[in-house]
Amino acid sequence: MKRLLSLACALLLSSALADVVSTPLPIPATQAPLGQTASVDWNSQTVTVEGAATTRTGLTQAQAYLQGKAAATADAQRLLAVALAGIQVDAKTTVKDFEMQSDDIATKVRSIVRGQIVGQPRVERMPDGSSIVFVTMSAPMGSAINLLQAVRPKPPAPRIMVNITNVKIINPPYRPPSGRFSGLIIDARATAFSPCLLPRIYAQDGTLVWSYNALGTRDDGVSGYARSVSQAQIMVDRGGPNALVVQGLYADRCDVVVSQMEAESIRAYNRITGFLDNYNVTIVF
């Protein structure tokens, strides 16, 4: 009798699963592909995925729409969780690395995924009478940054240069620059730079020029990203119209290095307006 009941349950489960099947299908990537069905647009600071599901034949259009939408939404949520986990946090870690360290991070990722609103479903009817339902879902990059506050990753300490000789060094008096800049644009197109959530800027001698503050970030991301200097200069919220433009020398993933002279200029101008503290930084890649 138990074997008959088990067999009956298995048949019912198989029949239910046959109605709606999650089907991963490729979509075109906007900026940086995370996989076949997900992409990150660093310009708009969003992660976008497209879930898909097929329905069996014999259903009315209304039934196919409702069942397909539910399954495609579940597929999109799964893909969005995977996409968020794959985002590069800094030059060495991804969100998934933090998920493995903290259950709180993993819980927050699931909460972000469940809280996103899906776009208008798109339905394609197949010749055999079945349907494929597509659902698009996006999440702002700021949500991924906010969830990292649970572990509060600390930026690396600047390298300290220690003089162990008895040579007396006389530094000339500091003369503040006359110009006032409201932001910083780093042109890293000639380097191997790749975007991430928490980029850093270093001087040529290895000292840290700018990094994120674990106690305070911006909802629209630590830095802005653009594909050209002219595009960066119209980003008003990053101080672009009156930003200091600096050329990047080289990069290690999302850690970009500028010349020693440019680094000193950035530090000097920042003392006047504090644009680095306000995250008015845009990186062109």
CA distance 134 to 123: 6
Query: Is residue 8 in some structural domain?
Result: no
Query: Is residue 10 in some structural domain?
Result: no
Total domains present in the chain: 2
SS3 of residue 26 by DSSP: coil
Q: In degrees, to the nearest 5, what angle opens at C-alpha 72 toward C-alphas 67 and 75?
A: 135
The answer to whether residues 45 and 141 belong to one domain is yes
Q: By C-alpha distance, which of 147, 154, 152, 156 is closest to 85?
A: 147
Per-residue pLDDT tens digits for 201-260:
999 999 999 988 755 667 677 899 999 999 999 999 999 899 999 999 999 999 999 999
Q: Is the pLDDT of residue 160 over 50?
A: no
* pTM, entire model: 0.67
Q: Is the pLDDT of residue 144 over 90?
A: no
Residues facing residue 53 across a β-bridge: 22, 133
Query: Is residue 6 in some structural domain?
Result: no
- Domain that residue 101 falls in: 18-150
State the pLDDT at residue 274.
Answer: 92
Query: Is residue 140 in some structural domain?
Result: yes
The answer to whether residues 133 and 24 belong to one domain is yes
In the numeric block, the tokens 């709606």 are attached to 20
Among 101, 125, 150, identify where a domain stops.
Answer: 150
Element (H, E) at 4: helix 2-19
Q: In degrees, to the nearest 5, what angle opens at C-alpha 82 toward C-alphas 280 and 97?
A: 70
The answer to whether residues 137 and 201 belong to one domain is no
CA distance 213 to 76: 32
Q: How many CA atoms lie within 13 A of 228 on its CB side?
A: 3
Q: Is the pLDDT of residue 125 over 90?
A: no
Among 130, 150, 170, identify where a domain stops.
Answer: 150
State the pLDDT at residue 184.
Answer: 97
- Two structure tokens written together for 192: 């191997």
* Chain CA centroid to CA 69, Å: 26
Per-residue pLDDT tens digits for 82-108:
888 778 777 887 778 877 776 777 777
